[in-house]
């Protein structure tokens, strides 16, 4: 129960920070550059610098750092699973033998490296959703994809689908939490017994959750049709995007910092 109450991925946290006031196109491009830099990182020691950079961005956005860290909870199991695979199945200089399994020095280093990379990828990606409204994110994605519409690329539809998906993540988590509370009130138990028993206990949660998902999708479709929604052609916006000097400065600063970190990483490798 507490797990669902503290998930923040896909949620927007309003604030009057300089990061929130940036153009969504600037933030999308900047986050993609940051993710590329994290993906290229190869030295574990450099990840501490990436952590300092994330803390600085969080402070600039006036967000609690623990709130950003909570967004990594959904992937902690994936991080641990990925690290375990590298620890137990990477050959190299043996450090510890556990029967037929040998833990190597290279496997341990690679596990730390891959785990930190995946963790920072999620943290920087969630930073975008925490500081950008869903509608602004949709407008930014549509404007970035708009040059490809001449080739038949559905820019508006793709941006709308991605935004709706992000918007419904916290909604579905709230519905899951509500259903689990109702099942607990009826005597259900989700944290007792073996794995198979726990999985069976979640069936009464999954079935009504699927019904709610389809019902909400139908309600959304009806609401969009009632408002004569017919796609992005000819539509206007109440708040058009406006590129400012601060966006240009941010878009120049972020790649410069990433290039510096990648250069440092290559020199230490």
* 93-140 residue pLDDT tens: 776 676 666 777 777 777 888 888 888 888 888 888 888 887 788 888
In a domain, 7, yes or no: no
* Structure-token match 């300092």, residue found: 52
Tell me, yes or no, whether 158 and 32 share the same domain: no
d(CA 156, CA 136): 13
Tell me, yes or no, whether 169 and 80 share the same domain: no
User: pLDDT-derived band of residue 30, with 50, 70 and 90 as boundaries?
Assistant: very high
In a domain, 237, yes or no: no
In a domain, 158, yes or no: yes
Q: Is the pLDDT of residue 2 over 70?
A: no
User: pLDDT-derived band of residue 250, with 50, 70 and 90 as boundaries?
Assistant: very high
Tell me, yes or no, whether 220 and 263 share the same domain: no
Tell me, yes or no, whether 250 and 219 share the same domain: no
Tell me, yes or no, whether 160 and 187 share the same domain: yes
Sequence-separated (6 or more) residues with CB below 8 Å from residue 166: 10, 129, 134, 137
Q: What is the pTM of this model?
A: 0.74
Please compute the mean of the pLDDT values over residues 2-29 and round it to a whole number: 76
User: pLDDT-derived band of residue 3, with 50, 70 and 90 as boundaries?
Assistant: very low
d(CA 112, CA 196): 31
Contact, 116 vs 47, CB < 8 A?
yes
Question: Roughly how many angstroms between the first and final C-alpha of the chain, as a whole number?
Answer: 43
Tell me, yes or no, whether 23 and 127 share the same domain: yes
Please compute the mean of the pLDDT values over residues 196-202 and round it to a whole number: 72
d(CA 123, CA 66): 11
Please compute the mean of the pLDDT values over residues 231-253 and round it to a whole number: 80
With vertex at residue 100, the alpha carbon angle to CA 95 and CA 104, rounded to the nearest 5 degrees, is 25
Specify the range with the lowest mean pLDDT, choosing from 4-8, 98-102, 139-143, 263-267: 4-8
**What domain count does the chain have?**
2
In a domain, 142, yes or no: no
185 Rama class: left (phi>0) / alpha (psi -120 to 50) / beta:
alpha
Please compute the mean of the pLDDT values over residues 152-175 and round it to a whole number: 77
In a domain, 173, yes or no: yes
Tell me, yes or no, whether 192 and 124 share the same domain: no
Tell me, yes or no, whether 216 and 247 share the same domain: no
Please compute the mean of the pLDDT values over residues 202-225 and round it to a whole number: 84
Q: Is the pLDDT of residue 5 over 50?
A: no
Nearest partner of 176 among 74, 52, 45, 39, judged by Cα: 74
In a domain, 180, yes or no: yes
In a domain, 203, yes or no: yes
pLDDT for position 12: 79
Please compute the mean of the pLDDT values over residues 71-92 and round it to a whole number: 76
Angle of helix 46-60 versus helix 245-268 axis, rounded to 10:
160
Tell me, yes or no, whether 27 and 125 share the same domain: yes
The CA-atom distances, in angstroms, between 250 and each of 28, 92, 140, 187 are: 12, 43, 16, 53
Tell me, yes or no, whether 177 and 48 share the same domain: no
Which of the pair, 197 or 234, is modelled with greater confidence? 197
Q: Is the pLDDT of residue 1 over 50?
A: no
Contact, 251 vs 29, CB < 8 A?
yes
62 Rama class: left (phi>0) / alpha (psi -120 to 50) / beta:
left
Query: Range of 172's domain?
Result: 147-227
Tell me, yes or no, whether 76 and 209 share the same domain: no
The CA-atom distances, in angstroms, between 73 and each of 5, 35, 99 are: 11, 18, 32
Tell me, yes or no, whether 210 and 247 share the same domain: no
Task: Give the pLDDT confidence of 164-198 residue by residue, as tens digits.
Answer: 777 777 777 788 888 888 888 877 776 776 667 76
Contact, 181 vs 1, CB < 8 A?
yes
Q: Is the pLDDT of residue 220 over 60?
A: yes
Contact, 237 vs 139, CB < 8 A?
yes
Please compute the mean of the pLDDT values over residues 132-159 and round it to a whole number: 81
pLDDT for position 26: 93
Contact, 18 vs 250, CB < 8 A?
no
In a domain, 199, yes or no: yes
């Amino acid at each position: 129960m507490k797990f669902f109450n503290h998930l923040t991925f896909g949620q927007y946290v309003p604030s009057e920070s300089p990061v929130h006031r940036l153009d969504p196109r600037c933030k999308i491009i900047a986050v993609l550059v940051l993710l590329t830099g994290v993906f290229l990182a190869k030295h574990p020691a450099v990840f501490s610098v990436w952590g300092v950079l994330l803390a600085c961005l969080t402070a600039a956005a006036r967000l609690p750092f623990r709130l950003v860290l909570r967004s990594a909870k959904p992937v902690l199991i994936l991080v641990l699973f990925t690290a375990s695979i590298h620890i137990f199945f990477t050959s190299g200089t043996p450090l510890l033998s556990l029967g037929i399994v040998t833990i190597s020095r290279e496997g341990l280093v690679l596990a730390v490296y891959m785990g930190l990379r995946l963790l920072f990828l999620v943290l920087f990606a969630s930073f975008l959703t925490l500081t950008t409204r869903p509608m602004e994110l949709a407008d930014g994605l549509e404007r970035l994809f708009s040059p490809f519409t001449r080739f038949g690329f559905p820019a508006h539809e793709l941006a709308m689908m991605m935004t709706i998906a992000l918007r419904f993540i916290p909604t579905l988590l709230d519905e899951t939490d509500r259903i689990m509370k109702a099942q607990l009130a009826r005597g259900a138990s989700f944290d007792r017994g073996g794995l198979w028993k726990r999985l069976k206990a979640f069936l009464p949660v999954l079935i009504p959750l699927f019904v709610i998902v389809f019902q909400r999708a139908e309600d959304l479709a009806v609401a969009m049709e009632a408002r004569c929604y017919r796609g992005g052609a000819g539509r206007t916006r109440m708040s058009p995007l406006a590129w400012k000097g601060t966006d240009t400065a941010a878009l120049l600063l972020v790649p410069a910092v990433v290039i510096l970190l990648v250069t440092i990483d290559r020199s230490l490798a």
